[in-house]
């Protein structure tokens, strides 16, 4: 199987799952990752010596690289996770999001289609799983949930680029018969997420007595799923998903951004033996993000009913474990927090974007 973006947060979780203790019957996992600011080989150290693991540094937009991989390896499956995924970065500059998320996805499905048509068993014998986000559906009010039938209404350049990539994949299923499965999920959390996303940023900042920037009044509501539950969901979609279908994976656990920051602050204080409330005093309200969606929530009943999947981890316990992981892994933090990462954080949160 080919895993694009396999050195990133979610991609590396999938690779570790597939090559982990539980036998998954996979003969080879080829990871293709450009190793930009979001991808790091440190995320794959636990599988680097596995003889089934192959790493290739490359860009999904580079057709010759992708064609060469398909020529060298008789892939049965593609798990496509490579993407630009930070909304803040897409607001600053959308170019990379259109290039990677739209053009890169087109290159992958087109090369896969042409390669697999020529192989024994044809397109029907192989699977292409495209990993997307709930943000393609826009925003919800205080009630309701997204379903697979919810019309697309993206509100950020990031969400629009992912919506476009979803539609490209769908078109290749309908036009050519490529056996695709599209998945959409809610906010992921857990170990090895780059500390520019909300929770790891708050954990690392609180531990260092730095400000905890909260957009607006922090009332935006998100649903949170542990990355390992999502990785298991993607494996289930690959092995049991019906070609041409899409599935939403969620946890049913919602919280406002303000509530999540407060919970993280309290957990950091508890782990570091600080007086209660110490880290909450670091909370700083900054101008709200442009076009900030109020609420996302997923109805994952289709995946639970048809695939037999369900999340195993509860937010209360898994969030505490996540905080402990970041506090205990200072070396990893140093490896992934590049100068470019620090420059982006300092510049973005200091701006008046009102």
- Is 88 noted as a catalytic residue in this protein? no
User: Taking a C-beta distance cutoff of 8 angstroms, is the pair 161, 102 a contact?
Assistant: yes
- Measure the CA–CA gap between 30 and 47, rounded to whole angstroms: 12
Geometric angle at alpha carbon 272, from 268 and 274, rounded to 5°: 90
Active-site position among 33, 134, 223, 253: 134
- Is 158 noted as a catalytic residue in this protein? yes
Contacts of 248 (CB under 8 A, 6+ apart): 134, 146, 147, 148, 183, 184, 185, 298, 299, 300, 302, 303
71 C-beta neighbours (distance < 10 Å), count? 10
- Is 135 noted as a catalytic residue in this protein? yes
- Measure the CA–CA gap between 215 and 213, rounded to whole angstroms: 7
Active-site position among 158, 172, 247, 326: 158
Active-site position among 33, 59, 88, 135: 135
Helix extents (H) in 100-191: 105-117, 157-176
DSSP string, 323-338: HHHHHH-HHHHHHH--
Q: Which residues are catalytic?
A: 134-135, 158
């Amino acid at each position: 199987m080919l895993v694009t973006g396999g050195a990133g947060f979610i991609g590396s979780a999938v690779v570790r799952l597939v090559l982990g203790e539980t036998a998954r019957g996979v003969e080879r996992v080829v990871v293709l990752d450009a190793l930009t600011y979001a991808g790091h080989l440190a995320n794959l150290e636990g599988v680097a010596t596995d003889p089934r693991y192959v790493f290739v540094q490359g860009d999904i937009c580079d057709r010759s690289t992708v064609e060469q991989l398909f020529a060298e390896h008789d892939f049965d499956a593609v798990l496509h996770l490579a993407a630009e995924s930070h909304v803040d970065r897409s607001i600053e500059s959308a170019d990379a999001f259109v290039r990677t998320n739209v053009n890169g996805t087109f290159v992958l499905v087109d090369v896969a289609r042409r390669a697999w048509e020529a192989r024994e068993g044809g397109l029907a014998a192989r699977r292409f799983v495209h990993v997307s986000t709930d943000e393609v559906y826009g925003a919800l009010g205080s009630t309701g949930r997204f379903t697979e039938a919810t019309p697309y209404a993206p509100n950020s350049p990031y969400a629009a680029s992912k919506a476009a990539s979803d539609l490209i994949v769908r078109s290749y299923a309908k036009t050519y018969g490529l056996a695709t499965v599209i998945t959409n999920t809610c906010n992921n959390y857990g170990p090895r997420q780059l500390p520019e996303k909300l929770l790891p940023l708050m954990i690392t900042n609180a531990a260092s007595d730095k400000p905890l920037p909260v957009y607006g009044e922090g009332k935006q509501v998100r649903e949170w799923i542990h990355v390992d539950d999502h990785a298991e969901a993607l494996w289930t979609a690959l092995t049991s998903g019906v070609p041409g279908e899409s599935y939403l994976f969620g946890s049913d656990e919602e919280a406002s951004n303000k509530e999540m920051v407060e919970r993280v602050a309290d957990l950091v204080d508890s782990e570091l033996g600080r007086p209660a409330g110490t880290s909450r005093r670091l909370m700083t309200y900054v101008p709200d993000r442009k076009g900030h969606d109020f609420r996302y929530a997923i109805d994952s009943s289709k995946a639970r009913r048809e695939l037999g999947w369900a999340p195993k981890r509860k937010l209360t316990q898994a969030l505490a474990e996540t905080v402990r992981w970041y506090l205990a892994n200072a070396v990893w933090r140093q490896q992934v927090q590049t100068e470019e990462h620090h420059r982006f954080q300092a510049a973005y949160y200091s701006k008046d974007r009102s």
